[in-house]
Amino acid sequence: MSFEHIIYFVTSGVALLSLNRPKSLNSFNEAMHLEVREAFKLIKADKRVRALVLTGEGRGFCAGQDLSDRNVDPNAESPDLGRSIDKFYNPLIKTIQELPMPVICAVNGVAAGAGANIPLACDLILAGRSAKFIQAFCKIGLVPDSGGTWFLPRLVGMAKAKELALLGEVVSADDAVQIGLINRVVEDDVLRQEAMDLAQKLASQPTKGLAYIKRALNQTFDHGLHAHLELERDLQRLAGQTQDYREGVAAFMEKRTPAFKGE
C-alpha cells in the first residue's frame, strides 16, 4: 500500500509510522488522518508487528490541526470542531492507547496543539534535543484536545498542567523530562535509531504480557484499589495462558535466554 502523507514500513518486528507533511510541520489535514488510520489497520492485522514507533519527517513532529483547512471568515458558518474531534482525534488517541503492543513516540522537533498531546497517549516518549512541546490551543481560543486535559494533570500534576494549558509556553525537551512529561532526551541525529533500537528490544519481549501491562497501567486511574486488584488478577490469568509465559519460566529454569514469540 502506498501513502502520500505518511511513511510506513515494518522491519524486525517494528512498524515505523512517520508523519510526512514537513512543509506544514506535519500538521493534520483530513488526508493525513485517513492515512494514519489506514496504517493502524495494517499494524493491527500484521502478526509480525510487535512494537510501533511514531515520529515525523523534517524539523517538526506535528503542529496539530492544519489551520489552513479551517474557514474562519467572519461571514462563514462556524466549523463544527467537535465533529473533527469525534471523527479523527479521539479515535486516534483511543487506537494508540488500545493497541496491544508498546508504542514509542520519537518527537523529532516541535510538537504543538494536538501534536503535543498525541505523544502523551503513547507508552514511551523519546525526544530529540531540539524538540519542544507547546499546548498551543489557548493561543487560538481552543481547549487542549487529544486527551491533553486528561494526560497532563496525571503526568505533571494539576498546577503544572494548568500552567502549560493556560499560558501555552514552550517547554524544551530537557524541561519536559524534568517535569515528567516525557521519558528521555537524545541527540537529534540519533533519535530515530534510538527509538527503533528500543522498539526492537520491546518487540523481542513477551508482546501479550506487555500489552496487559499497558492495559493495567492505562486503567489505573479509572478504578479504586479493589477494582484494580481484580483487573490485575484477570490480566494475570490471561498472561499465564500465553506461550511466552511458559517460555519465560522454562528459560529461567534452564538458565538460558528466552526466545519469546509474542504468542
Q: Can you tell me the distance from the alpha carbon of 13 to that of 4, in angstroms, rounded to the nearest whole number?
A: 23
Neighbours of 23 (CB within 10 A): 8
Nearer to ligand T3D, 64 or 209 (CB): 64
Nearer to ligand T3D, 90 or 200 (CB): 90
Q: Which DSSP state fits 178?
A: H
Distances in whole angstroms, Cα of residue 183 to Cα of each of 2, 71, 105, 106, 188: 32, 37, 10, 10, 15
Q: Can you tell me the distance from the alpha carbon of 118 to that of 213, in angstroms, rounded to the nearest whole number?
A: 20
Q: And the C-alpha cell for 26?
A: 506535519
Nearer to ligand T3D, 23 or 47 (CB): 23
Q: Per CB under 6 A, which of residues 108..127 are in contact with ligand T3D?
A: 110, 112-114
Regarding 144 and contact with ligand T3D (CB under 6 A), the answer is no
Min separation Cβ 5 and ligand T3D, Å? 13
Regarding 198 and contact with ligand T3D (CB under 6 A), the answer is no
Min separation Cβ 138 and ligand T3D, Å? 9
Q: Can you tell me the distance from the alpha carbon of 76 to that of 98, in angstroms, rounded to the nearest whole number?
A: 38
Distances in whole angstroms, Cα of residue 73 to Cα of each of 67, 79, 80, 94, 141: 13, 10, 14, 32, 16
Min separation Cβ 149 and ligand T3D, Å? 13
Q: Which residues contact 234 (CB under 8 A, 6 or more apart)?
A: none
Regarding 140 and contact with ligand T3D (CB under 6 A), the answer is yes
Q: Per CB under 6 A, which of residues 76..115 are in contact with ligand T3D?
A: 81, 84-85, 110, 112-114
Nearer to ligand T3D, 70 or 261 (CB): 70
Size of the site for ligand T3D (CB under 6 A): 23
Are 209 and 137 a contacting pair, CB within 8 Å? no
Regarding 26 and contact with ligand T3D (CB under 6 A), the answer is no
Nearer to ligand T3D, 25 or 199 (CB): 25
Regarding 136 and contact with ligand T3D (CB under 6 A), the answer is yes
Are 42 and 78 a contacting pair, CB within 8 Å? no
Q: Candidates 31, 138, 142, 251: give the one binding ligand T3D (CB under 6 A).
A: 142
What element of type H or E holds 44?
helix 30-45
Are 204 and 13 a contacting pair, CB within 8 Å? yes
Residues that bind ligand T3D (CB under 6 A): 24-25, 27, 63-68, 70, 81, 84-85, 110, 112-114, 134, 136-137, 140, 142, 145
